[in-house]
Chain A
Amino acid sequence: MATTTPQHTVEGSGPGAPRPGGSGPARIARRLRIDRRYLPVVGTFVVLALILAIGGVRYDNFLSVGVLANLFINNSFLIVLAVGMTFVILTGGIDLSVGAVLALSAVSAAYLIDAGVPVAVVLPAVVLIGSIIGLLIGLMVHVFEVQPFIATLAGMFFARGLCFVIAPESIPITDETFVAIAGWDTWIAGQWRMTTSVIVALVVIGIAFYLLHFTQFGRTVYAIGGSEQSARLMGLPVARTKVLVYVISGTCAGLGGLLFAMYSRSGYSLTGVAMELDAIAAVVIGGTLLTGGTGFVLGSVLGVLVLGLIQTIITYEGTLSSWWTKIFIGVLLLVFVVLQRVLSLRKT
């Protein structure tokens, strides 16, 4: 894997004529001069365009700016979760705790605001809760060599249990400042509605993109996913990076909880059950391999949009019941995973 990609990069960007031969998507990619690494993301993009086209043909008003803007508004917290998850999965780990941490952060926000703590203190505090849980998980994974699956599972149980200790019932948020922040919006070009949470999500995507592609930390993340042992032998700061990705994922989950609290104007212990699966599904549909080392943040964002669009289509269809969403997501996962498998078989 690590040895073949550079060759292709050279091939794709070099002045030489595209080689004949190869088959299927690979050949198309070569003709279009698309780096092979981007193929899965291009695939996600094609699926997204396809769903948009199907929706546009079937329903009036589907291909409107409003639908797309709402897609971002309704999925902003999931975008933030998926971005954090991408970091962890790129190193070859997995984070099952994000759904529960999101709930914990939302519940704490509602509880603290209800107790009269000023919003300016609550906002950073609840994000910090996510960071701390991420840090603890990272230390468990790295120092005590607990498998990520088990460490984050413990984190999930811990956060979910803590939610119920703090507040078994739903707490509504009525604080004026918080509601004002949550309800603030702006119209771009008079049509595209942006809320606070969308802007936060976009900023998170921007930071993540910068971190992964323009810093040493980002390159170390990819290196660990490619081969942890090689990364260590190269003298890269494996320990620090491995702990940091869980801190990032935890922070994103904390932030996601805040966005969810803004979205629902309340904190409830049972929010975000199985949301970690949506986040993982979005990352996988976005073309990131669960073995680590390959994938892009923007792919994960596209993955979230695909999931959101499926939901939108099912709402538009009306006659289809909500459980079809799950079945469609499952089928889409299957298609993507099998495609990735076929692509990786071709390569070897």
Chain B
Amino acid sequence: MPATTGSRTRPAGPPGLRNLTHHTLFWPVVALVALLVANTIFSPDFLSVSILDGHLFGAPIDILRNSAPLLLVSLGMTLVIATRGIDLSVGAVVAIAGALSLSFIATAPDPGSVSTVIIAIAIALGLCLVLGIWNGFLVSVVGIQPIIATLILMTAGRGVAMLITEGQITTVTSAPFKTLGAGFWLGLPAAALIAYGVYLIVALITRRSALGMLVEAVGINPSASRLAGVRARTIVWTVFALSGLFSGLAGLILASNVMAADANNAGLFIELDAILAVVIGGTSLQGGKFSLSGTLVGVLIITTLTLTVTIVGISPLVTPLFKALVVIAVTLLQSPRVRDKLAARARQRAARPEEVAA
């Protein structure tokens, strides 16, 4: 790729480098690398990974594991945002998934058996899929704006989760369920394997088939794409359903991490983190284009930032402040006005050697 672009020489500047800095992911990746470098300076063995009891350990592995729930939620969010929608209800769905699965396991005769856990997971994921379908129904069939349609579930959803747990924080002990969030498969955290596996599948399906393009078409102009033969309604409905399903999976991982269903705090603000990750990754809230790799970078930035704050020893309560600074920096750098200014300056610099040559 760099070789081919390099051969198409233009009069000014190294084009390979310019393409790199103009890439939408350039600034987000710079932010991520800067975070990692800062961490390594602060604690030199930050990037080292060791093997303990046959499992991989270390900060990078922690980042992978901690990012799993957010990655799942952001994945659904990216697709929803690409169709010009937004899903505010993901946090409530996360809470419902955790509440339902843990309440089921707690009341089951044998909480430790694999079959109980599988049924619990199936029930929780089934309900979350239904909730996603409900959102999709409101948006695509009734025609309510996505932000309002999902606000309804966002408000009511936590109430439903409280209803399921009857206001208690249900704690259970179930070894098979615990594997989901805290276990290891093939030396890697199970949660990370699940999340990144789902991510790869979605990336393959959307980018290796026309589906991704159809999603973007709906986001650019729903009625035009419908007239062009794209089933806009079905696509919008599907992305909301998927967002519900993925949030449910994230909720299961989070619940299994703490093995306690806290209807009030499970997945609190995860919708904001997810939207943030998507926007940092360069997907516009106006819809019409999406970048799954951008979302991945966004998720890693947010997870690394949270971990950094903890490692440096600042109270985790202050984390929102750093998030705000990252959002402001990245969104300002991506804003059209700043981009135009930067581009104008680059053009000036590029124009000068040409004059000298002539």
Contacts and interface: CB of A to CB of B under 8 A. Distances in A.
A324 interface: yes
Interface size class of A (residues with CB under 8 A): 35 or more
Interface stretch (B70-78, B171-179, B320-328): B320-328
B187 interface: no
B193 interface: no
Interface stretch (A43-51, A139-147, A187-195, A206-214): A139-147
B279 A330 contact: no
Nearest to A345: B143
Contact of A330 (B153, B166, B317): B153
A290 B324 contact: no
B335 A161 contact: no
A341 interface: yes
A153 B142 contact: no
Given A323-B162, A330-B153, 6 more contacts: A146-B332, A150-B285, A153-B327, A158-B328, A323-B159, A333-B152
Contacts of A327: 156, 159-160, 163
Q: Considering the complex of A and B, which 7 residue pairs feature the smallest CB-CB distances, nearest first? A: A330-B156, A161-B321, A326-B159, A323-B162, A158-B324, A157-B324, A161-B320
A242 interface: no
A262 interface: no
Contacts of A150: 275-276, 279, 285, 327, 331
A322 to B, nearest CB: 8
B169 interface: no
Contacts of A140: 328, 331-332
Contact of A158 (B86, B147, B321, B335): B321
B145 A165 contact: no
Contacts of B188: none
B277 to A, nearest CB: 12
Interface string A146-186: 11011101111110111011001000000000000000000
A168 B319 CA distance: 13
A327 B162 CA distance: 10
A326 B155 contact: yes
B11 interface: no
Nearest to B161: A323
A160 to B, nearest CB: 5
Interface in A290-348: 290-291, 321-327, 329-331, 333-334, 337-338, 341, 345
A105 interface: no
Interface stretch (A65-73, A231-239, A277-285): A277-285
A341 B338 contact: no
Contacts of A160: 320-321
B41 to A, nearest CB: 23
Contacts of B338: 144
Contact of B147 (A157, A273, A290): A290
A269 interface: yes
B203 interface: no
Contact of B327 (A157, A334, A337): A157
Most central of A149, A168, A325 by chain B CB within 10 Å: A149
Given A281-B151, A290-B147, A162 B321 contact: yes
Contacts of B268: 273
B144 A338 contact: yes
A156 B166 CA distance: 31
B304 to A, nearest CB: 16
B154 interface: yes
Contact of B335 (A145, A277, A280, A341): A145
Interface size class of B (residues with CB under 8 A): 35 or more
Interface string B134-157: 000000001111011101111111
A168 B317 CA distance: 8
Given A153-B272, A154-B328, A330 B155 contact: yes
Nearest to A324: B159
B279 A281 contact: no
Contacts of B54: none
A326 B320 contact: no
B154 A277 contact: yes
Interface in B328-358: 328, 331-332, 335-338
Most central of B144, B322, B328, B332 by chain A CB within 10 Å: B328
Nearest to A147: B285
Contacts of A109: none
Contacts of A345: 143
Contacts of A162: 321
A330 B319 contact: no
Nearest to A154: B327
Given A145-B335, A323-B163, A337 B144 contact: yes
A160 B337 CA distance: 28
A94 interface: yes
A146 B335 contact: yes
Interface in B235-268: 263, 268
A156 B323 CA distance: 10
A322 B167 CA distance: 9
Nearest to B286: A147
Nearest to A335: B152
A145 B339 CA distance: 12
10 contacts: A144-B332, A153-B276, A158-B324, A161-B320, A161-B324, A168-B315, A269-B317, A326-B158, A330-B153, A333-B148
Most central of A96, A156, A330, A345 by chain B CB within 10 Å: A330
B318 interface: yes
Contacts of B272: 96, 153, 156-157
Contact of B159 (A273, A281, A330): A330
Contacts of B337: 143-145
Contacts of A96: 272
Contacts of A144: 331-332, 335, 337-338
Contacts of A165: 318, 321
B327 A333 contact: no
Interface in A254-275: 269, 273
Contact of A331 (B154, B156, B263): B156
Contacts of A334: 152
Interface string A84-96: 0000000000101
